[in-house]
Amino acid sequence: GQEFRFGPCRVEGVVLQELWEAFWDMKDVVQAQDNVTSVRLLRKEILQNVSEAESCYFIHSLLKFYLNTIFKNYHAKAVKFRILRSFSTLANNFAVIMSKLRPRQENEMFSISENARRRFLLFQGAFKQLDREAALTKAFGEMDILLTWMQKFYQ
């Protein structure tokens, strides 16, 4: 079967097509709630030219943030907008992916992990500049951008 290969990090047992279907089922509802269209959190320059070595650190930070901040605080909205099934599919799969990521911590990887951290901080910084609820809604609606980036590492 297919697996994610974020540089040295391998993640099996996740069917990316299911994540796509889950997001697409709620895309219009979720993105229609995002009124701050002048801001994009996952900007092109943040996602461009991520090296293989960097990718494991970067996706680990992103998924950790999505699980601990975005999914955690968006649950009530998911109930309200009746998208709980899609919400759960994505949350559970993100949790599985994150649990299987083992970014290396050796010293020689420090500069690479720092690059990845800088990218993540650009994303997180843009998130923090927005009103809390608006930021949650926007980040949730940008999962198509995140999944598109993840698709490149799925083989």
Cα gap 130→20, rounded to integer Å:
27
Task: Choose one: 31-39, 57-65, 74-82, 95-103; the region binding another protein (CB under 8 A).
Answer: 31-39
Q: Is position 37 an interface residue for another protein (rule: CB under 8 A)?
A: yes
Cα gap 103→114, rounded to integer Å:
12
With CB under 8 A as the rule, give the number of residues binding another protein: 24
Residue 28 CB, nearest distance to another protein (Å)? Answer: 5
| Dihedral sign (CA 28, 58, 119, 63) | positive
Choose, by CB under 8 A, the member of 39, 84, 96, 130 that binds another protein.
39
State which H helix or E strand residue 36 sits in: none
Residue 20 CB, nearest distance to another protein (Å)? Answer: 5
Choose, by CB under 8 A, the member of 31, 33, 88, 92 that binds another protein.
31
Phi, psi of 90, rounded to the nearest 5 degrees: -70, -45
Q: Decide: 55 and 114 in contact? Cβ < 8 Å.
A: no
Q: Is position 129 an interface residue for another protein (rule: CB under 8 A)?
A: no
Give CA 155 to chain center in angstroms.
18
Q: Is position 151 an interface residue for another protein (rule: CB under 8 A)?
A: yes
Query: Tokens representing 123?
Result: 């994303």
Task: Choose one: 29-37, 59-67, 73-81, 90-98; the region binding another protein (CB under 8 A).
Answer: 29-37
Nearer to another protein, 32 or 79 (CB): 32
Q: Decide: 117 and 111 in contact? Cβ < 8 Å.
A: no
Cα gap 143→103, rounded to integer Å:
22
Residues that bind another protein (CB under 8 A): 16-17, 20-21, 23-24, 27-28, 31-32, 34, 37-40, 43-44, 141, 144-145, 147-148, 151, 154
